[in-house]
């Protein structure tokens, strides 16, 4: 089906070079975050409750933190959810819960936000970067370096597509290597009907401001493993876990079980209340984004050398975090950064390249912390001579835009496709 309007094919002068933009600045894009109906009332209820933290004495009814843990585990169909203050904390305690030894190796993707790797260092372990699939941007079973004797693998579901966690698990399980899913970018994504985050031993989520489910700053670890769930509770609440009987007014809900050294990574009650409200909107928003993502895919089929990143066939539902448009053929002399800037100017909403692979990220600098010196040294030793060509290619050919760009309607997708076609067709004079 030829879907793009004819006008979209005429190159014209690019907006970045002073030409008329594809989209009029009068037409705004959906905003983010969007408060759910009931969000303000939930926040006001916490304000008046006299109980702003799970570590404050009992008064009134159930903690919002408990309610969110229940609602999110029901949503994901997983036995246990331990909410935390950040997605990074989720990764730290998930790793700590495994009881690995100081300096053990954990495989992580080369293409991800820095927190996936820095959490490994925070847990006293050494991240070893792994190249990603050129198709999905996620790590795959074939690419795992098991010679470094990893204790765990962190699998990131990247941008809009899921990694093949069952295949990765099959490749490492017999060696006792644990698979942790970093589902910070994948709330609600499904693989053969199973939710991202529930397929590996542990799943970690971020509820930071840009995520599809957000309370500003927040996170959660989920697992079906009852023993690990108890350990995770202690790790995030200064060695305390929830008591099994009901606390009386004035008593704490937490008891000092102290089977493992914890720290304070607790989610506060305002954030938990907000998440309870926001979760109610998540699937309706997925439906809108996924309809638009599919439509943009159809429209881009008309533009040579450009495609949306495609999930593997087993992924039956996507969760768009940052929609990845891949330019297999970059226009002569242009980088994906140039294309992203040109699209931003055409559309009035931000497009940007992916972050650089972590081996050359200036945010991953363990040697700047004296307390990490031995881990940093091992990290540098283990990366000598390692290259990540597929991660480099994705970082150099994809352009991302935030998922809120997909919360509008089909006309928005026509605008994006028209801008992509215009930018790709622009000749030297157009820039
Ligand atoms: C893949 C991935 N892992 C971990 C994190 C860290 O989450 P947080 O910012 O909530 O600590 C993020 C946040 O962007 C992420 O995208």
Q: Is the CB of 87 under 6 A from ligand 1?
A: yes
Q: Does 364 reside within a domain? A: no
Please give the number of the atom of ligand 1 that sits closest to the Cα of 157. 1
Q: Is the CB of 86 under 6 A from ligand 1?
A: yes
Instruction: Specify the CATH number for the domain of residue 343.
Output: 3.90.1150.10
Which of 279, 312, 347 is at the close of a domain?
279
* Judgement on whether residues 271 and 326 belong to the same structural domain of the protein: no
Q: Is the CB of 8 under 6 A from ligand 1?
A: no
* Judgement on whether residues 226 and 132 belong to the same structural domain of the protein: yes
Q: Which domain holds residue 29?
A: 6-34+282-355+391-430
pLDDT attached to residue 194: 98
Tokens encoding 142: 């074939």
- 219 neighbors 89 (Cβ within 8 angstroms): yes
* Judgement on whether residues 180 and 204 belong to the same structural domain of the protein: yes
Q: Does 372 reside within a domain? A: no
112 CA → ligand 1 middle, Å: 9
Query: Is 126 strand, coil or helix?
Result: strand
Rounded distance, CA 139 to CA 155, Å? 7
Which of 208, 158, 200, 156 has its CA nearest to residue 177? 200
Q: Is the CB of 219 under 6 A from ligand 1?
A: yes
94 CA → ligand 1 middle, Å: 14
Which string of b and e fits 356-377 if b means at least 16 CB within 10 Å? bbbbebeebebeeeeebeebbe
Question: For a pocket test of ligand 1, which of 122, 137, 184, 218 has the largest count of ligand atoms closer than 8 A to its C-beta?
Answer: 184
Please give the number of the atom of ligand 1 that sits closest to the Cα of 112. 1
* Judgement on whether residues 202 and 310 belong to the same structural domain of the protein: no
Q: How many structural domains is the chain composed of?
A: 2
Instruction: Specify the CATH number for the domain of residue 62.
Output: 3.40.640.10
Phi, psi of 42 (to 5 degrees): -65, -40
Phi-psi category of residue 357: left, alpha or beta, with phi > 0 → left and psi -120 to 50 → alpha: beta
Q: Is the CB of 265 under 6 A from ligand 1?
A: no
Q: What is the torsion angle, in degrees rounded to the nearest 10, for the CA atoms of residue 184, residue 101, residue 379 and residue 372? A: 90
Please give the number of the atom of ligand 1 that sits closest to the Cα of 321. 16
Rounded distance, CA 71 to CA 91, Å? 21
Q: Does 329 reside within a domain? A: yes
Q: Is the CB of 119 under 6 A from ligand 1?
A: no
Q: Does 259 reside within a domain? A: yes
* Judgement on whether residues 20 and 51 belong to the same structural domain of the protein: no
The contacts of residue 36 (CB under 8 Å, 6+ apart) are 277, 278, 280, 281
Question: For a pocket test of ligand 1, which of 185, 197, 209, 213 has the largest count of ligand atoms closer than 8 A to its C-beta?
Answer: 185
Which of 279, 306, 322 is at the close of a domain?
279
* Judgement on whether residues 93 and 229 belong to the same structural domain of the protein: yes
Question: For a pocket test of ligand 1, which of 92, 106, 110, 113 has the largest count of ligand atoms closer than 8 A to its C-beta?
Answer: 113
pLDDT attached to residue 9: 54
pLDDT attached to residue 429: 76
Q: Does 143 reside within a domain? A: yes
* Judgement on whether residues 21 and 127 belong to the same structural domain of the protein: no
Please give the number of the atom of ligand 1 that sits closest to the Cα of 207. 10
Per-residue pLDDT in tens (0 to 9) along the chain, 431 residues:
446 665 555 567 999 999 999 999 999 999 999 999 999 999 999 999 999 999 999 998 999 999 999 999 999 999 999 999 999 999 999 999 999 999 999 999 999 999 999 999 999 999 999 999 999 999 999 999 999 999 999 999 999 999 999 999 999 999 999 999 999 999 999 999 999 999 999 999 999 999 999 999 999 999 999 999 999 999 999 999 999 999 999 999 999 999 999 999 999 999 999 999 999 999 999 999 999 999 999 999 989 999 999 899 999 999 999 999 999 999 889 999 999 999 999 999 999 999 999 999 999 999 999 999 999 999 999 999 999 999 999 999 999 999 999 999 999 999 999 999 999 999 877 88
339 CA → ligand 1 middle, Å: 26
pLDDT attached to residue 8: 56
* Judgement on whether residues 55 and 116 belong to the same structural domain of the protein: yes
* Judgement on whether residues 137 and 174 belong to the same structural domain of the protein: yes
Q: Does 186 reside within a domain? A: yes
pLDDT attached to residue 97: 98
Q: Does 378 reside within a domain? A: no
- 378 neighbors 150 (Cβ within 8 angstroms): no
Q: Does 373 reside within a domain? A: no
Please give the number of the atom of ligand 1 that sits closest to the Cα of 89. 11
Please give the number of the atom of ligand 1 that sits closest to the Cα of 218. 10
Which of 231, 249, 279 is at the close of a domain?
279
* Judgement on whether residues 274 and 332 belong to the same structural domain of the protein: no
* Judgement on whether residues 316 and 254 belong to the same structural domain of the protein: no
Angle CA(19)–CA(21)–CA(22) in degrees, nearest 5? 130
* Judgement on whether residues 115 and 195 belong to the same structural domain of the protein: yes
pLDDT attached to residue 6: 52
The contacts of residue 404 (CB under 8 Å, 6+ apart) are 29, 30, 31, 32, 34
């Amino acid at each position: 089906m030829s879907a793009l309007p004819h006008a979209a094919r005429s190159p014209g002068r690019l907006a970045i070079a002073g030409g008329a933009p594809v989209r009029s600045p009068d037409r705004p894009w959906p905003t983010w975050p969007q408060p759910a109906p009931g969000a303000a009332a939930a926040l006001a209820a916490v304000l008046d409750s006299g109980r702003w933290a799970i570590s404050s004495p009992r008064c009134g009814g159930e903690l919002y933190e408990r309610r969110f843990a229940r609602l999110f585990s029901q949503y994901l169909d997983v036995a246990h959810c331990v909410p935390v203050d950040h997605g990074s904390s989720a990764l730290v305690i998930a790793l700590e819960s495994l009881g690995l030894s100081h300096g053990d190796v954990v495989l992580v993707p080369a293409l991800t936000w820095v927190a996936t790797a820095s959490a490994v260092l925070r847990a006293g372990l050494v991240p070893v970067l792994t190249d990603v699939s050129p198709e999905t941007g996620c790590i795959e079973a074939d690419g795992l370096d098991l010679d470094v004797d990893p204790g765990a693998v962190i699998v990131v579901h990247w941008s809009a597509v899921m990694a093949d966690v069952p295949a990765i698990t099959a490749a490492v399980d017999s060696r006792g290597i644990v698979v942790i899913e970093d589902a910070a970018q994948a709330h609600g994504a499904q693989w053969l009907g199973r939710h991202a985050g529930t397929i590996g031993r542990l799943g970690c989520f971020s509820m930071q401001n840009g995520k599809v489910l957000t309370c500003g700053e927040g996170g959660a670890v989920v697992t079906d493993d009852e023993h690990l769930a108890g350990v995770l509770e202690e790790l995030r609440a200064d060695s305390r876990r929830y008591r099994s009987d009901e606390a009386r007014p004035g008593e704490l809900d937490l008891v000092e079980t102290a089977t493992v050294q914890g720290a304070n990574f607790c989610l506060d009650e305002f954030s938990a209340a907000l998440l309870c409200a926001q979760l109610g909107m998540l699937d309706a928003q997925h439906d809108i984004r996924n309809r638009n993502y599919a439509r943009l895919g159809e429209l881009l089929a008309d533009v040579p050398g450009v495609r949306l990143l495609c999930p593997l066939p087993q992924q039956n539902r996507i969760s768009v975090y940052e929609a990845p448009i891949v330019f297999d053929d970059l226009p002569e002399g242009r980088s994906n950064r140039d294309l992203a800037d040109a699209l931003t100017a055409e559309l009035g909403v931000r497009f940007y390249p992916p972050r650089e692979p972590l081996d050359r990220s200036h945010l991953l600098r363990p040697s700047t912390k004296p307390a990490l010196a031995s881990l940093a040294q091992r990290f540098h030793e283990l990366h000598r001579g390692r290259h990540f060509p597929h991660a480099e290619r994705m970082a150099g050919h994809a352009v991302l835009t935030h998922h809120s760009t997909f919360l509008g309607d089909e006309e928005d997708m026509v605008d994006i496709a028209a801008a992509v076609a215009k930018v790709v067709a622009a000749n030297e004079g157009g820039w």
